[in-house]
Structure 1
Amino acid sequence: MNETYSAFAGFAQTWGLLYFMLLFAVVLAYALWPKNRKKFDDAAQIPFRED
């Protein structure tokens, strides 16, 4: 049973790290994509608007 846990833990650590690195790269690319700049600039100004 201990071998099964160790194998599963090793698998989860390796592939989990790769999964989250890929997810981070996708989110970063979305945030820095030039097409989205206007949307984010507009959202950044929301607190300064008077209703």
Structure 2
Amino acid sequence: MLRISRRNWLRKAHRYLGLIAGLQLLFWTVSGLYFSLVPIADVRGES
């Protein structure tokens, strides 16, 4: 019984850690696209 609960815990931990890593990768990609597409003067706040 202990082995099954440990396995379930590992599955849940792996799922949530993967979700967190995936969200970080998504934010990194979106922010990189933003900085690539927007003129650098706008990114820096220069007029």
TM-score by length of 1: 0.56
Q: Which amino acid aligns with 2:8?
A: T
Q: Mapping of 1:29-48 within 5 angstroms?
A: 29-33=33-37, 35-41=38-44, 42=46
Specify which of 4, 15, 22 is matched with residue 19 of structure 2. Answer: 15
Cα offset, 1:13, TM superposition: 2.1
Higher RCO, Cα 8 Å, sep 6+: 2
Deviation per residue, 1:9-36 (Å, 9 max, x gap): 1101222222211110001111121x33
Q: Which amino acid aligns with 1:30?
A: Y
The answer for unaligned runs of 5 or more in structure 2 is none
TM-score by length of 2: 0.59
The alignment-based identity, stated in percent, is: 10
